[in-house]
């Protein structure tokens, strides 16, 4: 087996820390840190995943209250050993063009668009990690016959875990974390199913 590149070796026996991600110029673009271990996106993103994520970001950005914004592809430093990259998030942090991550307290909503490569992390690991970090709202977006289905979760503070708040097809309407109405079918071109 070939030797790993030097940058892939953790700089300390405890593994990687969140701030290390800002100093890995040779790492793949979408690198996350989960419990001190680097996680790389192993496959290219599908057009469906990319398109739905960007359309959802734009839809949310048009609905957020003043002082908030929606963005995609940014990381959230949950603790010293975990820095996760979400597909979409809403933040109330001040705009800083050089910023590379957000703190959980600056993020009222995180959205993960499930892909075959990320399904396990999105449905299990990230659910637990985001809840433990105190992020109030978490959505999981799945593909069903070419159209998005959104599973909405809200944080139960007493247990630091998420509870289901609904599954939405066609249209998503929510009063929290701000008034939201989104035409889900409209997130894909012509609202058509993949087989049409």
How many other CB atoms are there within 10 angstroms of residue 2's CB atom? Answer: 4
CB 116 within 8 A of CB 143: no
- The pTM assigned to this predicted structure is 0.91
73 pLDDT more than 80:
yes
Higher pLDDT, 9 or 159: 159
CA distance 196 to 184: 17
Pairing verdict, β 137-144 and 109-113: parallel
Strand partners for 149 = 142, 169
The CATH H-level superfamily of 45-191 is tt1808, chain A (3.90.1570.10)
Residues 167-182 have a mean pLDDT of 98
How many other CB atoms are there within 10 angstroms of residue 62's CB atom? Answer: 9
Least confident of 29-33, 69-73, 101-105: 29-33
Supply the pLDDT for residue 192.
Answer: 56
Domain boundaries defined on the chain: 45-191
How many other CB atoms are there within 10 angstroms of residue 112's CB atom? Answer: 26
Write out pLDDT tens, residues 100-112: 999 999 999 999 9
């Amino acid at each position: 087996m070939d030797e790993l590149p030097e940058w892939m070796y953790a700089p300390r026996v405890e593994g990687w820390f969140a701030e290390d991600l800002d100093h890995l110029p040779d790492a793949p673009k979408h690198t996350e840190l989960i419990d001190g271990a680097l996680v790389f996106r192993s496959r290219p993103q599908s057009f469906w995943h990319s398109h739905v994520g960007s359309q959802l970001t734009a839809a949310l950005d048009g609905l957020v209250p003043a002082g908030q914004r929606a963005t995609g592809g940014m990381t959230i430093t949950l603790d010293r050993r975990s820095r996760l990259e979400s597909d979409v998030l809403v933040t109330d942090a001040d705009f800083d063009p050089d910023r590379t991550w957000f703190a959980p307290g600056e993020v009222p909503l995180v959205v993960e668009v499930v892909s075959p490569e990320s399904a396990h992390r999105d449905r299990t690991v990230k659910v637990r990690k985001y809840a433990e970090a105190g992020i109030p709202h978490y959505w999981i977006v799945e593909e069903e016959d070419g159209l998005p289905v959104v599973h909405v979760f809200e944080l139960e503070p007493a247990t630091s875990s998420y509870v289901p708040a609904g599954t939405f097809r066609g249209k998503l309407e929510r009063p929290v974390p701000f008034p939201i109405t989104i035409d889900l079918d409209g997130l894909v071109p012509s609202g058509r199913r993949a087989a049409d």
